[in-house]
């Protein structure tokens, strides 16, 4: 009697085939197919975030792209990829990733703020203000750096609008 507890080769091949078919049908993600636990993916995200903070933007970009491929429905990974694109001044790509992030989690304040910043860059002030307002409403204590930026931007824009109105 063998002490090996792995399934017989035929059973293993059948399971692998079933998993591949589920992947193709979109029933499981690439990360699930490869057996990568969410915890491991988030450890990689942390590493990529550290690389981004250290200025190794291209390395961070590659990791975040891989994480989005492995877990395409994860709002956080899309948001982090978007932030990396913003660092690279690739605003169209960043906007698309923020949009994806918000499709999977409409309450992701980091994605709201990022998208709002791009709206402002594009001159779409009302949409930017709406995103900032929504983000600060979801994080009223301003615990996140992104909502702190959003609040500061809202205050500056309000002050500019008041000064502009006073000049008329």
Residue 161's pLDDT is: 83
List, by residue range, all CATH 1.25.40.10 domains of the chain: 28-105
28-105 CATH, one of 3.20.20.70, 3.40.190.10, 1.25.40.10, 3.40.30.10:
1.25.40.10
Give me the percent of the chain exceeding a pLDDT of 70. Answer: 81
| Residue 76 confidence (pLDDT) above 90 | yes
Higher pLDDT: 82 or 164? It is 82
pLDDT digits (tens, 9 = 90+) for 10-64: 877 777 677 556 556 666 455 664 566 778 888 989 999 999 999 999 999 999 9
If you write DSSP's letter for every residue of 23-61 in order, what string do you get?
HHHTSS-HHHHTT--HHHHHHHHHHHHHHHHTT-HHHHH
| pLDDT > 50? residue 2 | no
Please tell me the distance from the alpha carbon of residue 4 to that of residue 12, in angstroms, as a whole number.
Answer: 13
Whole-structure pTM value:
0.79
More confident call, 16 vs 159: 159
């Amino acid at each position: 009697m063998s002490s090996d507890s792995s399934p017989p080769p035929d059973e293993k091949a059948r399971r692998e085939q079933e998993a591949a078919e589920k992947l193709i049908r979109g029933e499981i993600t690439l990360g699930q197919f490869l057996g990568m636990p969410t915890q491991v993916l988030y450890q990689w995200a942390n590493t990529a975030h550290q690389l981004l903070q250290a200025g190794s933007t291209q390395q961070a970009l590659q990791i975040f792209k891989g994480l989005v491929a492995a877990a395409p429905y994860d709002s956080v990974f899309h948001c982090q990829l978007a932030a990396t694109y913003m660092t690279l001044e690739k605003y169209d790509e960043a906007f698309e990733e923020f949009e994806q992030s918000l499709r999977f989690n409409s309450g992701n304040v980091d994605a709201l703020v990022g998208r709002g910043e791009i709206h402002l860059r594009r001159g779409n002030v009302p949409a930017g203000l709406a995103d900032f307002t929504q983000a600060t409403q979801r994080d009223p204590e301003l615990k996140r750096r992104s909502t702190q930026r959003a609040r500061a931007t809202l205050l500056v824009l309000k002050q500019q609008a008041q000064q502009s109105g006073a000049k008329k």
